[in-house]
Structure 1
Amino acid sequence: MKTQPKKLSLTARIIIGMILGIMTGFVIREFLADITFVHDYIVDGLFEVGGSIFIASLKMLVVPLVFVSLVCGTSTLSDISTLGRLGGKTLAFYLTTTAIAITLALTMGTIVQPGAGADLGAATAFEAKEAPTLGQVIIGMFPTNPINSMAQGNTLQIIVFAILFGIAISAAGKAGERIASVFNDLNEVIMKLVALLMHIAPFGVFFLMAKLFTTLGLDAIESLMSYFAVVSGTLVLHALLTYGLMLKLFTGLSPLTFFKKMEDAIMFAFSTASSNATIPVTMETATKRLGVSNKVASFTVPLGATINMDGTAIMQGVATAFIAQAFNVDLTMGDYLAVIMTATLASVGTAGVPGVGLIMLAMVLNQVGLPVEGIAMIMGVDRLLDMIRTAVNITGDSVVTCIVGKSEKEMDIARFNDPRAGEKDEEVHLHKA
């Protein structure tokens, strides 16, 4: 009997698409850059259009997924105090991991000294947008027009409205039960949309990588090799060591199983460099593969994508040490503590602001009296580092989701330990009418 050839896993197909995209980008940049047809119709045509459609498709699902899944989760809460406990745990873990990340980054930056001997004399001026105050952020969390909030993709406002709407459904008796059943059905349909999108991901990743590497040269990385190595190394260390230990300590679950199940979400985050765009895949991974109930994941994942910025905090820590060393400025222990506090609080205070990483870094540099112009020097490699730190950010979101889910007894441990969990949910069968 003839055996069917084994299909490649989604992760394998995404990695193949990524490698082929990187190779294609390098070949075009090195050998075909001067050919007008290639530049206009392949790079700015096929690659630009294909990559943009892929990102747009991911973002298309974010608002309906966050709203519908959070309404479903909140409407099932029998006790409103559960929501406060859930929010308190989630916020505490997110702030703790961010503080650990910035501390680890400052330690690595001080030991390795990536900025020693660097020449920042050529650094051009850099102007960061002014960050909103914490009070403005809190006020801005409450929407005046929920439909407008959804149109603008304001995640915090969507979360607040969805929670209030879910609570109202829970309190509305029979009418609420009928509405809740509609939302539960909608949630299943949206998750199937996510599964559908995941099947075309390898092509989207190929287009994104090919487009990026037609412009990204190795010369920028070579000139900042020490800085790049320290940031990327610290990011990987934080993901494996901090998250792995936290998961084992607070849940007793296997970090190896966790990281194996996170492969697809990590690849999505790396290729898109956007925590928000990756929300649908992170949510699908947390619920279908890791076994956390939608009641918890619908709250922790969108909130984490908005305020949990461990990867960005690591970049800030190493960048602060790098710029201080390059300008021959000695930082005291008080300065280091100020950096840790500022970066941790800024991760909440600048939530949802475009260019958030650089805004936060400017705030940190101002706090310890370092020149903001130093940011211009490290911007050459920031795009590639942004891809790595986004993967770290969504990994942190998922670890906290598992910890909170386990502590709330809202996690299916058998599903977490099942290596094939979620595979049937990702299948899409399109039958002819």
Structure 2
Amino acid sequence: MRNIPLHWQIAIAILLAVLAGVLGGPSANIGGLSFIAVYTFLGTIFLNALKMLIVPLVVSSIISGMAGVGGDKLEKLGGKTLLFYASSSLIAILIGLAVVNVIAPGSGDNQALAASISTSDPELTDTLAKVEGRGMSDVVQVFVRMVPTNVVAAAADGQMLGLIFFSLLFGFFLARSKSEHASTLMHFWQGVMDIMTAITMWVMKFAPLGVFGLVAKTVAITGFAAFKPMLLFFFTALLALMIHAFVALPLLLRYVGGVSPKKHYAAMTPALLTAFSTASSSATLPLTLKSIQEESGVSKQVSGFVLPLGATVNMDGTALYECVAAMFIAQVYGLELGFVQQFTIVMIALLTSIGVAGIPAASLVAISVILGAIGLPLEGIGLLLVTDRVLDMLRTAVNVFSDSCAAVIIARSEGETTKIAA
């Protein structure tokens, strides 16, 4: 296996995991040892190892990037980053809106799905407990937490926006500092980043095992039989995600960034497969940084600023899914949505895709906000639970790919040559 490229190792692990999950099912065991327990062990250890790297890697990469770019370029770089993230998310939402209107997966016979929702389902009850009472005020509170009272507590609690804000401030003032110790601090943070990158490469040697455990557990528990009533919705969301990932973003890479989409896909394959397996943009961040710097050739200064921010606030796939899911539920309940209501969905999806990143069950919270805005019952979320895990994996991969496209396009706009020029 050592001579096989990492992305092929991960791809093989995913295929084997699907087979193991399908053949073994949720109850398979050997001598009383459940296969699910083994899968959980492998997946959890791998995820924990990736999450262990996030805080030191994010802090060191942002501070090093800021110090390298210099304070004078922050406004320009930040403006480009936010403009790309807002534009790509809006494009994704409009693609989702167009596809769900054309296919209308909740219309016709599928309206019987509304009657099939069991309000006594424990999974639905648990989900509703998480999202009931949520609203736009929760989105605002996420931005309030952007300025943490205790940066150590923010790091411990996984409040990435607060950690990023502190790191940006630290890097900005480090770049402007006239202190004799400033250069020592710059070398320190660069050294931390180099070491964290080395640890990331070591952890990724075990990626095939971790990916196998994560995917096999998902397939074994969810299976495929439950998907049948929701297949049209599943393929509608999948088609919209694929159009964004394989049409819209490549066009931006080619005509805005002037790079080869094919080369960029090849460079990002290990990160995308890991994102698919973990369903976590943050957990994939160490590998995303490694791929974008070493394979696509984006500088540490640009990638260290753009990617950690993107892993927290840029959620193209999530925004697209929120729109498709809300429209699907409206169709199931027989609600005809006019232009104003659809525009409302677009705007709320855009705002919540940024703001709910720090909230548990983030996408479901966002969908609950949209449902409340257009007058639909929260129980409609029950329709999404069957396919949510797999679609979560897919939309996370789209989120990560969008982050990487932002890094490449912004690097090119800053005059960098990269390794994937067209």
> Could you tell me how far 1:351 is from its partner in structure 2?
2.8
For 1:416, give the aligned amino acid: I
CA contact (8 A) 2:36 2:220 kept: no
2:23 is aligned to: 27
- Where structure 1 has 5 or more consecutive residues not aligned to the other structure, the ranges are 419-433
Q: Which secondary structure does the structure 2 equivalent of 1:161 belong to?
A: helix
> Could you tell me how far 1:36 is from its partner in structure 2?
5.5
**Structure 1 Cα separation of the partners of residues 140 and 220 of structure 2:** 43
1:178 is aligned to: 184
1:363 to 369, 372, 379: 369
2:282 is aligned to: 276
For 1:292, give the aligned amino acid: V
**Structure 1 Cα separation of the partners of residues 264 and 88 of structure 2:** 17
Q: C-alpha offsets along residues 348-399 of structure 1, whole Å, 9 cap, x if unaligned?
A: 2223111110011111122222222111112111101111110000000000
Q: C-alpha offsets along residues 165-206 of structure 1, whole Å, 9 cap, x if unaligned?
A: 112322143310011112112211110111111111011111
Q: How does 1:67-106 map to 2 (within 5 A)?
A: 67-78=59-70, 80-106=71-97
> Could you tell me how far 1:275 is from its partner in structure 2?
0.7
1:7 is aligned to: 3
Matched, 1:210 2:201: no
For 2:279, give the aligned amino acid: A
Q: How does 1:325-336 map to 2 (within 5 A)?
A: 325-336=331-342
**Structure 2 Cα separation of the partners of residues 295 and 366 of structure 1:** 42
1:407 is aligned to: 413
2:47 is aligned to: 55
Question: TM-score with structure 1 length normalisation?
Answer: 0.90
**Structure 2 Cα separation of the partners of residues 344 and 135 of structure 1:** 14
CA 1:266–1:352 in structure 2 vs 1: closer, same or farther (change >3 Å)?
same
For 2:12, give the aligned amino acid: I
Matched, 1:111 2:107: no
- Where structure 2 has 5 or more consecutive residues not aligned to the other structure, the ranges are none
Range that drifts further, 177-186 or 123-132: 123-132
1:337 to 343, 357, 372: 343
**Structure 1 Cα separation of the partners of residues 421 and 89 of structure 2:** 28
**Structure 2 Cα separation of the partners of residues 412 and 184 of structure 1:** 22
Q: Which secondary structure does the structure 1 equivalent of 2:69 belong to?
A: coil
Question: Which protein is richer in helix relative to its size?
Answer: 2
For 1:57, give the aligned amino acid: A
1:255 is aligned to: 261
CA 1:133–1:406 in structure 2 vs 1: closer, same or farther (change >3 Å)?
same
Q: C-alpha offsets along residues 122-165 of structure 1, whole Å, 9 cap, x if unaligned?
A: 22445215144454233210111111111112111111111111
Range that drifts further, 60-69 or 114-123: 114-123
CA contact (8 A) 1:272 1:278 kept: yes
1:18 is aligned to: 14
> Could you tell me how far 1:292 is from its partner in structure 2?
1.2
CA contact (8 A) 1:282 1:398 kept: yes
CA contact (8 A) 2:249 2:405 kept: yes
CA 1:135–1:211 in structure 2 vs 1: closer, same or farther (change >3 Å)?
closer
CA contact (8 A) 1:124 1:377 kept: no
**Structure 2 Cα separation of the partners of residues 206 and 138 of structure 1:** 36
**Structure 1 Cα separation of the partners of residues 159 and 280 of structure 2:** 15
Q: C-alpha offsets along residues 28-66 of structure 1, whole Å, 9 cap, x if unaligned?
A: 11xxx555546x524243221111000000100011100
For 1:401, give the aligned amino acid: A
> Could you tell me how far 1:241 is from its partner in structure 2?
0.8
Question: TM-score with structure 2 length normalisation?
Answer: 0.92
**Structure 2 Cα separation of the partners of residues 100 and 58 of structure 1:** 30
Q: Which secondary structure does the structure 2 equivalent of 1:277 belong to?
A: helix
CA 1:75–1:44 in structure 2 vs 1: closer, same or farther (change >3 Å)?
same
Q: Which secondary structure does the structure 2 equivalent of 1:121 belong to?
A: helix
Q: Which secondary structure does the structure 1 equivalent of 2:336 belong to?
A: coil
CA 1:27–1:161 in structure 2 vs 1: closer, same or farther (change >3 Å)?
same
Instruction: Kindly tell me the number of residue pairs found equivalent between the two proteins.
Output: 407
1:416 is aligned to: 420
Q: C-alpha offsets along residues 90-116 of structure 1, whole Å, 9 cap, x if unaligned?
A: 111111111111111111111111011
> Could you tell me how far 1:329 is from its partner in structure 2?
0.7
**Structure 1 Cα separation of the partners of residues 197 and 421 of structure 2:** 21
Q: Which secondary structure does the structure 1 equivalent of 2:297 belong to?
A: coil
2:155 is aligned to: 150
For 1:87, give the aligned amino acid: G
**Structure 2 Cα separation of the partners of residues 193 and 404 of structure 1:** 27
CA contact (8 A) 1:287 1:293 kept: yes
1:423 is aligned to: none
> Could you tell me how far 1:406 is from its partner in structure 2?
1.2
Q: How does 1:230-309 map to 2 (within 5 A)?
A: 230-309=236-315
**Structure 2 Cα separation of the partners of residues 20 and 95 of structure 1:** 38
Aligned identity (percent) is 33
Q: C-alpha offsets along residues 209-265 of structure 1, whole Å, 9 cap, x if unaligned?
A: 222222112122111010001101111111011101111121111111111111101
1:121 is aligned to: 115
Q: Which secondary structure does the structure 1 equivalent of 2:283 belong to?
A: coil
CA 1:35–1:267 in structure 2 vs 1: closer, same or farther (change >3 Å)?
closer
CA contact (8 A) 1:11 1:264 kept: yes
CA 1:34–1:177 in structure 2 vs 1: closer, same or farther (change >3 Å)?
closer
RMSD after superposition = 1.8
CA contact (8 A) 1:239 1:395 kept: yes
Range that drifts further, 162-171 or 268-277: 162-171
